[in-house]
Copies of this chain bind each other. A is one copy, B any other.
Amino acid sequence: MFQIKAPYLLFLGDAPDQLAAKTARGINDWRPENVVGQYRLDGCQADLGITDMNLTAAKAAGAKTLVLGTANRGGVLSENWRGILRDALEMGFDIANGLHNRVATDPEFSALAKKLGRKIFDVRHADAPMPIGTGEKRQGKRLLAVGTDCSCGKMYTALAIEKEMKSRTMNATFRATGQTGILIAGSGVSVDAVIADFMAGAVEVICPANEDANHWDIIEGQGSLGHPSFSGVTTALIHGGQPDALVLCHEPTRTHMRGLPHQPLPSIDDIMQTALWLAHVVNKDARFVGLSVNTSQMDKADVAGYLASLEDQYGLPAVDPFAHGASKIVDAL
């Protein structure tokens, strides 16, 4: 499992727009205490509104890891970027790479990191063999976000719940299962990059038995049971995650599954019923504790009524954690 040293210098490179830097933005939004500054090249159109720094300034500010938190143009590492990565390793930085391109196995960087004793984390890929999952009961409590679709707010929901729990001095840990989450948490495994036989085992490694029986692991969900491309990963997360509590994440304005124009959305009821049956295979006490609704695309006038109707229908709190925080969900635990 990746273990990345904070604090970070966030490399935005020559990001063509704000959206291209959304991974870096997520890190800065959720773990500002782990960020010393941003490193932007000429032409960069993204700006996190934090201090601009080069490698020397960031080193002086205590940064331990250079984070590639933006997409690179054309999908290849330019010579310009390569020079910066080389300098970073020489100056004592580890590198955490959120790109699809691997850096750790690049012959030059691999040799340089080995010579210098630095670490390179390709967080979109799996870094180590994982065990086969067992489903054996583990101490501690776990909460998992499941969704009616991909990219409907599962990571955001988990982070908001962790934040709310910590504000109440509950013992809670966000557990990352995808690249942005790993860069935010500083550890985790990209479950979708693991070999199929070992997916559930990887999730068990991510949220292991906790010595505090009241500790909550808040597990980032992936995919959807109703998404034909990635439903197997979702199933492995439910069985490996062994959740006590499930939160249903939903984006009400979608007209089809993300990336699949031919694929209709599943109903909230169906996802809840199927997820709950799967969860009961490994934890008879699993239950839904709330609905998390991404209302960003809704007409603002409709939001309150829609959330109230969900609360009425399911007898559970329904909130948009971005707009309202996650306190109603944590209350329901």
Contacts and interface: CB of A to CB of B under 8 A. Distances in A.
Contacts of A233: 196-197, 232
Contact of A199 (B134, B136, B232, B277): B232
B197 A192 contact: yes
Q: Which of A225, A229, A239 has the most CB of B within 10 A?
A: A229
A236 B232 contact: yes
A76 interface: no
A116 interface: no
A110 interface: no
Contacts of A195: 192-196
Contact of A228 (B135, B262, B274): B135
A239 B231 contact: yes
A133 interface: yes
Interface size class of A (residues with CB under 8 A): 35 or more
Contacts of A132: 229
Interface in A195-217: 195-197, 199-201
Given A135-B263, A196-B233, A231-B278, 19 more contacts: A133-B228, A133-B229, A134-B260, A135-B228, A135-B262, A137-B262, A192-B196, A193-B197, A194-B196, A196-B236, A200-B232, A225-B235, A228-B239, A231-B235, A231-B236, A232-B235, A232-B236, A266-B281, A273-B277
A181 interface: no
